[in-house]
Amino acid sequence: MTHRVVVYGREHCHLCERAHETVDAVAGDRTDVAVETVDVDTDPALRDAYGDRVPVVTVGGEEAFELRVDADELRALLDE
């Protein structure tokens, strides 16, 4: 089973950069994780939905993290 991890963020966002670093570090060489990045500023509906609460990281379509990503919690979610 492939876990879909989506990082919703925006350019020039230091928390978004950190979230990406954490997700990339946890996903590493795992073949069961597909990571996608979505810039919320490219879509007015996403910009309205997420506002300033980025980054938001979803795992399997469910919001798992907001603003900060805990590497251990992400690993646990991916190992379920």
| Alpha-helical segments (H) within the chain | 14-27, 44-50, 71-79
Q: Which CATH architecture has domain 15-79?
A: 3-Layer(aba) Sandwich (3.40)
Residue type, 52: D
Please give the model's pTM, rounded to 2 decimal places: 0.93
pLDDT on residue 70: 97
- Which stretches of the chain score pLDDT less than 70? none
pLDDT on residue 74: 97
pLDDT on residue 1: 81
Give yes or no for a cis peptide into 44 (omega within 30° of 0): no
Domain regions of the chain by residue span:
15-79
pLDDT on residue 71: 96
